[in-house]
């Protein structure tokens, strides 16, 4: 009897497709070609069943089986199934999201092993003839290869990628692959752990085989990375793989190098900056158990691991762990689900843990590990609040701040001026008639980007030229109001002539190479003044940096989002934490118009922990996450009445559901964006179970609504933004 294959396809449909099995046996979790509509597609076998619910005679026959062994096996397939149900997303799209792009089609798997290079006879001859001069990068590269082939990653750490490419182009080296993990290089020693670090690492190591969740709550500069390294070292020594998740921006070559050098192993990196082939290789190296250490951003939580040993989520509070479109999973939460299924420890680390994780500690679901002091000789930075009221400001900077910057520069140290707004000014206003530049599609102010002479909408990307005169009254009194990083860069350059100022924000770091080069150059201290957005707030270890000026935090104090207070606290503490991380003491200046704001007061007097426990209490009292569960149905449409009708029908379709409450239709915090009207329905429940029980049937009903096709809508379970 032929089996029926239940196949998931990457289509936005909540259904699987049955096919009769062809000549070759298809294992669950393998890719298979199947006829679909008029063409052929690649799908993943999710189940083999004896009988279809459809008329079997009319089922099509599956085509070529692309993988002998399943690509998505056992635990991972089960976790992805769970995630598809939990996040209410089609299984086909979920499974394909877990595959690297180049494996989503029928391509064969790239060869195993790791990318390496070997010396060619021409290279050996060149070396013997001293054609590349001794001591040059390219000469040391060739010398290193005399003893045999080496992994590309190792060569790049040694001599840089440019030298390697150069040697390749000259035919001095050739690409090859190392079948087994490269011989472990000598690991370089780090600082001896202090007592708190050793205890924390020991708690995880001593947890033994089995699921054990930890929150590593360590103040900025307390040496959490050293704790991770110790845990990973033990994991590798037991012959197991470690998976480390980091926020998008933290994955600089600098960070990769640190892990590689300290552990003496190759690191399989998984992030969006890689080419397709590199990414597929790293993914397969993880799946085949060849990569001892896998380091990646959000989607790396979906990588198969042949010999899993531990999962570490660094900066666990970071918003980039939540996927904001399509399959809206939270990588931190999935890390927990996977660790549990795999029966291994999971460590969430942060200096500013999310309220979710703190609530899990309170509920005794996670074990708390604390590092209360900075490592080595570094002391916590001192904090000073500067009241901006009735002060004369120079381009947004108070005199106190400018004096502190001057003093810091005189001591030959580095300054970070933090402003979470890019561009020159957030508003362009006509002083004569009151006109201001607004986005025609979002009804929000356009940001002035002076250098490029453009006005840009930061919400939808609309842009236009800066008008020479006011479009409304033709007057010439157009004023730039407020300041973004570009203006601060100019102002600081003018104030401190001859001092190198470097701006780091999304505008100066377009393209991964540029960003890596820029971020890599910062620790040297060549740039004396750094001006930056939140890109600079987290994870960087800049030893010469002793002063941080936070230009303005007031927007964060008055945001409507219930997470605004948490985010503000995290941002301020993280950016403040960049100061004084080495031997010299650091200080932080916080400019505000509202020094007596209760949130700021708690933060200043009690630090992040005091703020967090206060915010947790407020959330408990107000019935907000993490004490209740949210799901958000967002919708947008070109006409307001259509949107309204759709959402009203959606709310009505809920019927009388037990254990859940629906709020809405409500206007979205940004009711218009890119020309569309936006509104939403918030679903709230005291517990996960009733919410999970309610959603599938409700969403089926929503999908059947007559206006469904004319509206763009999505469901977000555990939303982090209510926009």
Ligand X SMILES: Nc1ncnc2c1ncn2[C@@H]1O[C@H](COP(=O)(O)OP(=O)(O)OP(=O)(O)O)[C@@H](O)[C@H]1O
Closer CB to ligand X, residue 123 or residue 577? 577
Tokens for 259, please give them. Answer: 């892990």
Closer CB to Zn ion, residue 239 or residue 638? 638
**How far is residue 373's CA from residue 379's CA, in Å, rounded to a whole number?**
8
Q: Three-class SS of residue 630?
A: strand
Q: Three-class SS of residue 615?
A: helix
Are 224 and 314 within 8 A, CB to CB? yes
Question: 194 contacts which partner out of ligand X, Zn ion, none, CB within 5 to 8 A by kind?
Answer: ligand X
Tokens for 562, please give them. Answer: 């219930």
Give the residue closest to ligand X by C-beta: 223
Picking from 267, 298, 246, 245, the residue whose alpha carbon sits closest to that of residue 540 is 246
Interface with Zn ion (CB under 5 A), residue from 286, 460, 579, 611: 460
Pairing of strands 454-456, 463-465: antiparallel
Question: 207 contacts which partner out of Zn ion, ligand X, none, CB within 5 to 8 A by kind?
Answer: none
Question: 457 contacts which partner out of Zn ion, ligand X, none, CB within 5 to 8 A by kind?
Answer: Zn ion
CA gyration radius for the chain? 28
| Cα separations in angstroms, 399 against 319, 388, 427, 512, 604 | 34, 10, 24, 36, 21
Check residue 602 for interaction with Zn ion (CB under 5 A).
no
Are 110 and 70 within 8 A, CB to CB? no
Binding residues vs ligand X (CB under 6 A) = 191, 193-194, 197, 218, 220-226, 351, 375-376, 539, 541, 577, 581
Closer CB to ligand X, residue 110 or residue 247? 247
Pairing of strands 414-418, 545-550: parallel
Question: 46 contacts which partner out of ligand X, Zn ion, none, CB within 5 to 8 A by kind?
Answer: none
In angstroms, give the least distance from the CB of 671 to Zn ion: 13
| Cα separations in angstroms, 576 against 573, 579, 604 | 5, 6, 12
Check residue 676 for interaction with Zn ion (CB under 5 A).
no
CA angle 540, 245, 717 (to 5 degrees): 115
Closer CB to ligand X, residue 12 or residue 192? 192
Question: 581 contacts which partner out of ligand X, Zn ion, none, CB within 5 to 8 A by kind?
Answer: ligand X
In angstroms, give the least distance from the CB of 380 to ligand X: 11
Are 231 and 369 within 8 A, CB to CB? no
Size of the site for Zn ion (CB under 5 A): 7
Query: Is 176 annotated in some ligand binding site?
Result: no
Closer CB to Zn ion, residue 47 or residue 441? 441
Question: 503 contacts which partner out of Zn ion, ligand X, none, CB within 5 to 8 A by kind?
Answer: none
Closer CB to Zn ion, residue 374 or residue 459? 459
In angstroms, give the least distance from the CB of 673 to Zn ion: 7
Question: 253 contacts which partner out of ligand X, Zn ion, none, CB within 5 to 8 A by kind?
Answer: none
Strand ranges in 489-559 using DSSP code E only, listed in sequence order: 501-504, 529-532, 545-550
In angstroms, give the least distance from the CB of 219 to ligand X: 7
Are 267 and 341 within 8 A, CB to CB? no
Query: Site map for Zn ion, 420-459, x if CB under 5 A?
Result: -------------------x-xx--------------x-x
Interface with Zn ion (CB under 5 A), residue from 6, 419, 462, 544: 462
Tokens for 659, please give them. Answer: 């254990």
| Cα separations in angstroms, 694 against 563, 649, 655 | 25, 16, 10
Identify the residue whose tokens are 């390219």.
138
Tokens for 413, please give them. Answer: 């140290």
Question: 439 contacts which partner out of ligand X, Zn ion, none, CB within 5 to 8 A by kind?
Answer: Zn ion
Query: Is 235 annotated in some ligand binding site?
Result: no
Closer CB to ligand X, residue 541 or residue 601? 541
Provide the binding-site residues for Zn ion, judged by CB under 5 A: 439, 441-442, 457, 459-460, 462
Binding residues for Zn(2+): 430, 433, 439, 442, 457, 460, 470, 473
């Amino acid at each position: 009897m032929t089996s029926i294959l239940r196949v998931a396809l990457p289509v936005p449909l909540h259904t699987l497709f049955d096919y009769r099995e062809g000549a070759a046996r298809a294992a669950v979790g393998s890719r298979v070609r199947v006829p679909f509509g008029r063409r052929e597609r690649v799908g993943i076998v999710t189940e083999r069943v004896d009988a279809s619910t459809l008329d079997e005679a009319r089922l099509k026959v599956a085509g070529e089986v692309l993988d002998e062994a399943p690509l998505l096996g056992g635990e991972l397939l089960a976790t992805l199934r769970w995630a598809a149900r939990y996040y209410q997303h089609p299984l086909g799209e979920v499974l394909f999201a877990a595959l690297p792009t180049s494996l989503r089609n029928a391509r064969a798997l790239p060869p195993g092993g790791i990318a390496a290079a070997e010396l060619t006879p021409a290279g050996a001859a060149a070396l013997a003839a001293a054609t590349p001069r001794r001591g040059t990068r390219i000469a040391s590269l060739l010398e290193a290869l005399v003893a045999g082939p080496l992994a590309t990653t190792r060569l790049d750490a040694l001599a840089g990628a440019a030298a390697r490419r150069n040697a390749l182009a000259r035919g001095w080296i050739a690409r090859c692959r190392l079948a087994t993990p490269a011989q472990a290089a000598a690991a370089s020693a780090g600082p001896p752990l202090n007592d708190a670090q050793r205890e924390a690492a020991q708690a995880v190591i001593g947890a033994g085989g089995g699921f054990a969740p930890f929150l590593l709550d360590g103040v900025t500069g307390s040496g959490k990375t050293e704790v991770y390294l110790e845990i990973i070292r033990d994991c590798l020594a037991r012959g197991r793989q470690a998976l480390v998740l980091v926020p998008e921006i933290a994955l600089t070559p600098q960070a990769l190098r640190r892990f590689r050098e300290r552990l003496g192993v190759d690191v399989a990196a998984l992030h969006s900056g890689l080419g397709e082939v590199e990414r597929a290789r790293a993914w397969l190296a993880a799946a085949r158990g060849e990569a001892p250490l896998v380091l990646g951003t959000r989607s790396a939580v979906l990588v198969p691991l042949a010999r899993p040993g531990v999962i570490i989520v660094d900066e666990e509070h970071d918003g980039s762990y939540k996927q904001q479109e399509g399959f809206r999973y939270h990588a931190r939460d999935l890390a927990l689900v996977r660790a549990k299924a795999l029966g291994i420890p999971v460590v969430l680390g942060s200096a500013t843990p999310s309220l979710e994780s703190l609530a899990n500690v309170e509920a005794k679901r996670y074990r708390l590990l604390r590092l209360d002091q900075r490592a080595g000789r570094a002391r916590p930075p001192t904090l000073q609040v500067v009241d901006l009221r009735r002060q004369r400001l120079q381009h947004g900077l108070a005199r106190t701040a400018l004096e502190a910057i001057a003093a810091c520069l005189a001591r030959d140290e580095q300054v970070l001026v933090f402003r979470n707004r890019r561009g020159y000014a957030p508003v362009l206003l006509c002083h004569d008639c009151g006109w201001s530049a607004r986005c025609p599609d979002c009804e929000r102010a356009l940001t002035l980007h002076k250098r490029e002479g453009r006005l840009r909408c930061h919400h939808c990307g609309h842009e236009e030229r800066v008008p020479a005169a006011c479009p409304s009254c033709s007057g010439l009194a157009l004023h730039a109001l407020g300041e973004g990083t570009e203006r601060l860069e100019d102002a600081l350059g003018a104030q401190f002539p001859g001092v190198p100022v470097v701006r780091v924000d999304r505008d100066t770091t377009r393209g991964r190479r540029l960003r890596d080069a820029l971020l890599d150059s910062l620790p040297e201290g060549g740039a004396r003044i750094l001006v930056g957005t939140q890109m600079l707030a987290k994870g960087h270890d800049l030893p010469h940096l002793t002063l941080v000026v936070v230009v303005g935090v007031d927007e964060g104090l008055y945001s409507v989002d219930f997470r605004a207070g948490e985010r503000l606290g995290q941002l301020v503490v993280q950016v403040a934490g960049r100061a004084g991380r080495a031997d010299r003491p650091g200080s932080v200046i916080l400019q505000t118009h509202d020094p007596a704001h209760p949130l700021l007061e708690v933060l200043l007097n009690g630090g992040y922990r005091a703020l967090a426990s206060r915010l947790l209490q407020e959330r408990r009292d107000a019935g907000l996450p993490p004490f209740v569960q949210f799901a958000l149905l967002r919708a947008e449409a070109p006409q307001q009445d259509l949107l309204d009708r759709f959402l009203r029908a959606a709310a009505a379709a809920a019927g009388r559901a037990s254990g859940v409450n629906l709020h809405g239709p409500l206007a979205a915090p940004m009711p218009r964006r890119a020309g569309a009207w936006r509104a939403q329905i918030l679903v709230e429940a005291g517990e996960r179970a009733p919410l999970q029980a309610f959603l599938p049937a409700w969403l089926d009903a929503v999908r059947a609504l007559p206006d469904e096709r004319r509206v763009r809508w999505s469901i977000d379970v555990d939303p982090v933004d209510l926009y």
